[in-house]
Structure 1
């Protein structure tokens, strides 16, 4: 007779399993959202049986999990730091066949993702990995991973302009602002700025600077979280060191904990006093027991006295004057 697993064994078994959509994203299939769609449309099978619930728990080590008939396995993760040159796209597909950032690093059959995007004319630090789950978390706005840029702009911004960039401005698709902005050096009629963002919106830097009258000449990302571009030449890449991967994950964990702490710091409203409990202390007089003070008579200084004054204050009001008396006389005739 088969013995039932105890509670401790059941907990240990759950730890070895993971949600199906997370496994697909971890295996480098696609983003977690797209993986959920693959599951709901019946493209995924577990032990030859279609599974339509993305939250189903699976054990990738012992179960046969397939997408469109192709078996998926837990991959060996790769993390590349690329200095993206100008003219290269951060996309997985381009019908026009233009150069892509993921083509500049060795894929070895892995499905690679760029963490966030840099537009075609922006260069600098770009993280590329087959760890879909980590890539999605790093790019998500809720984690507010710091992004730093070196930006060469035409013109010399005033202190008021720099303050305006820090305070932010509204656009049709949201509110944009720099978390940090400082002047690095001046070059004639232009300056080099260092900018800090906490989320990457579409062409946010160029649009903010254009709104205050400064055109971007060059734009380069120099840092992403704990990662630095260093002396890496454009078009070159290197693999992340284990310590750097650990720093990335640790930063995400700290941001998640901080979000929980901030959500628990909601201002508490002061409760209303209960009349039954608000009894006066000994030796004090409550408002209900206190004898009301006699009302002072109204001062008569500056007020007219006599009978006429009494009529004005309390007497009958004079009738309103008749309107259009001439019309009434003609009617009486």
Structure 2
């Protein structure tokens, strides 16, 4: 379980002398999310200065050598963020046990190792944020940010606009409680319609499940915005880095990683 205020100034000051927790260091280096980095430790896969690390309360200082599975990990670079237009048919994972094509295998060469901010499932498309900093990814995913995720959804079925408007009150489906969703009908042609959807939490397959509860089958799901970051005119599979100045403006307190 993570410590409170782990990214706050008091915490940073308290840990300045002993360094940075190894899982957070690995996350910032783009190895994995902080949670997944912690899972590497009990398996004897991580070494710090040639000594196996098994406890998360291990700290990395400037000049230390960190290895994962025998590979030396470069010290974290400054936090970077990219906008990527994910097409459907790709899974948002580094390795898929079913052998399906992945987002990360489709990225251009020369890119540092990146992790996604949230996910889009196999059949979904649109804006996917990618970062080289696992701690930043975790921070951007927190519901406490209040960032709105926006989607355009094509559905098949008869849209009941009253029930659509009622989603703003939240809903419960199969015992799962979903937060408020703003949804409105854009256009309709026969049994097909386009709906705009805005939500703050974004649980797994939330939009599809909520639409199905309204007797609507989702045939296309496009994320157009994640907080202040927009899909814009990005073509499918196009990748564009967010300028550092813009990133710092949108994520207060974000600072360049120290040079080791």
Same fold (TM over 0.5): yes
Are residues 178 and 193 of structure 1, via their aligned partners in 2, closer, same or farther at CA, if it must alter by over 3 Å? Answer: farther
Please say if residues 79 and 239 of structure 1, whose CA atoms lie closer than 8 Å, have aligned partners that are also in contact: yes
Alignment-derived partner of residue 262 in structure 1: none
For the residues of structure 2 that align with 1:12 and 1:164, how far apart are their CA atoms?
48
TM-aligned CA deviation for residue 205 of structure 1: 0.8
Identify the residue that residue 187 of structure 1 maps to in structure 2: 189
Alignment match of 1:35 (pick from 15, 34, 37): 37
Residues of 1 paired with 2:175 and 2:68: CA distance?
Answer: 36
Measure the CA separation in 1 of the matches of 2:248 and 2:179: 29
Decide whether aligned partners of structure 1 residues 114 and 63 sit closer, same or farther in structure 2, where only a CA change above 3 A counts: same
State whether residues 173 and 213 of structure 2, in contact with CA within 8 Å, keep that contact through their aligned partners in structure 1: no
Q: Alpha-carbon deviation of 1:210?
A: 1.1
SS at structure 1 position matched to 2:186? strand
Determine the structure 2 residue equivalent to 1:225: 227
TM-aligned CA distance change 1:160 to 1:13, over 3 Å: closer
Q: Which residue of 2 aligns with 1:127?
A: 129
Which residue of structure 2 lines up, in the alignment, with residue 23 of structure 1? Answer: 25
Higher relative contact order (CA 8 A, sep 6+): 2
Moved over 4 A (4+): none
Structure 1 residues 68-110: Cα deviation after superposition (integer angstroms, max 9, x where no partner): 3322222335432111111111111123432211123235373
- Aligned counterpart in structure 1 of residue 208 of structure 2, from 189, 206, 211: 206
- Contact between 1:40 and 1:54, CA under 8 Å: does it hold in 2? no
Q: 1:125 to 1:205 in 2, by over 3 A?
A: same
Matched position secondary structure for 2:128: strand
The answer to whether residue 89 in structure 2 is matched with residue 87 in structure 1 is yes
Greater strand share, 1 or 2? 2
The whole-number CA distance in structure 2 between the counterparts of 1:31 and 1:57 is 17
Paired position in structure 1 for 2:155: 153
Judged with a 3 Å threshold, the aligned counterparts in structure 2 of structure 1 residues 105 and 152 are, in CA distance, closer, same or farther, namely: same
Q: How far apart in 1 are the matches of 2:101 and 2:85?
A: 14
Of 211-220 and 105-114, the range deviating more from structure 2: 105-114
* In 1, Cα distance between equivalents of 2:212 and 2:137: 30
Could you say which residue in structure 2 is the equivalent of 1:105? 107
Pair 62,154 (structure 1): closer, same or farther in 2 beyond 3 Å: same
Point out the structure with max Rg over C-alpha: 1
Corresponding residue number in structure 2 for 1:4: none
Q: Which residue matches 1:66?
A: 67
Query: What TM-score, normalized to structure 1?
Result: 0.65
Q: Which moved more, 1:230-239 or 1:44-53?
A: 44-53
* Contact 1:27-1:73 within 8 A present in 2 as well: yes
Gaps of 5+ in 2: 1-12, 255-260
Cα-to-partner distance string for 1:153-201 (whole Å, 9 max, x where unaligned): 2345334212332223223362124431122233344432211111222
Paired with 2:175 and 2:108, the residues of 1 have a C-alpha distance of 36
Equivalent position SS for 1:134? helix
Contact 2:147–2:228 (8 Å) recurs in 1? no
Higher helix share: 1
Structure 2 residue aligned with 1:48, among 47, 50, 54? 50
> Equivalents in 1 of 2:113, 2:105: separation in Å?
11
